[in-house]
Structure 1
């Protein structure tokens, strides 16, 4: 499987993060690029990659839907296999990418050597349910986690807001931190007095605490 990647290495890195994009925007999107820069500034090396359907979208200039979960998992595991790092390794994903990362960490089919590599999972805007369908919960990846996980969620995320998440039974391996007035991209409204950049920087600080480096 040919996977397009962007490697962003820093000297004296504290950890290496494999960063998966969401359903609608690729590895080079504004969000992915800016968040990677902030992670680099915090002394984390980052590998970004595209899932196969996204490369096909770009090549054919058509909006194909995301691949099914087995194919997404195969792609993520291949990137993990190719990652030759002695650093602590974390899986991180934006929206759908976070769901795939969480699923991979609890997948009974994953190579045990690969599972040993993974120190934790970070989800940026976890898609707890489709927009407008809170009854269709996507809790299985969280409920089957084998590694500790950090979910960084906007307070008013339409795929899982603070009020709705308060009703859920979140497993002990998973910590949820809310970003002030954030939407699914962690972006607050102007009237909140917060900025998107402030929320992104707070998210990176939470990651630093989670990793503990």
Structure 2
């Protein structure tokens, strides 16, 4: 955890109920990266925690956004329209620091970020573990959500993600592969890459991408 970063939390009222933002503040912030969680967990996911721990040292304030259904203690995520409403209602608070904003999230949160990016005025989208299709059902593709963003997009995908492995994404997709990572970027003990190294691949890839289009120095 970056010792120079501060943690702050705030509740935001939305049409879907109260959402919560956990800020990891960079002392020299040049961009805000807003990250939503998936449908099966919250902001404690290992990839979100890793990014929130590392990026503030590089001028990136990370805002971890908990959807109202999670804040309320519910077990099942609501419909996409409700998720989108909760996310977009939080955006004015995310924009309050007056910095460029990158929208992101993992799994269902990545889909929300893709669907709403242009509406909220995001500069780019970070899609962690994008669920390209339900496991075992490649014919039910969600590629359209990713393809229609119309902004710079980085996909970070595990090499054995049942929701879509890197090779299933179209040629030309800006993509970082986490070797042997599953949908939660967990790697098996037998893997040649350890868990810490796998998360370093993820955070290094995101930093390189942010630098590549000038978000951070």
Q: What is the TM-score when the length of structure 1 is the normalising length?
A: 0.83
Residue 36 (structure 1) shift: 1.3
The 5 Å alignment of 1:1-213 reads: 1=14, 2-56=18-72, 58=73, 63-64=75-76, 66-83=77-94, 84-106=96-118, 110=119, 114-115=120-121, 118-163=122-167, 165=168, 168-169=169-170, 174-212=173-211, 213=216
Greater fraction of residues in strand = 2
Partners of 2:58 and 2:192 in 1: CA distance? 25
Contact 1:38 1:201 in 2 (8 A): no
Give how far 1:31 is off. 4.5
Q: For residue 124 of structure 2, give the secondary structure of its aligned residue in structure 1.
A: strand
Q: What is the distance in 1 between the residues matched to 2:80 and 2:50?
A: 27
Unaligned runs of 5+ in 2: 1-13
Q: Cα RMSD between the aligned structures?
A: 1.8
Q: CA deviation at 1:52?
A: 1.8
3-state DSSP of counterpart to 1:190: coil
Q: Classify the secondary structure of the residue corresponding to 1:122.
A: strand
> For each residue in 1:51-88, what CA deviation from the matched residue of structure 2 results, as whole angstroms up to 9, or x when unmatched?
122223x2xxx522x11111111111112122212222
User: For this pair of structures, how many residues does the alignment match?
Assistant: 195
Work out whether residues 166 and 175 of structure 2, in 8 Å CA contact, stay in contact via their aligned partners in 1: no
Q: Deviations over 1:98-121 (max 9, x none)?
A: 111111125xxx2xxx32xx1110
SS in 1 for 2:137: coil
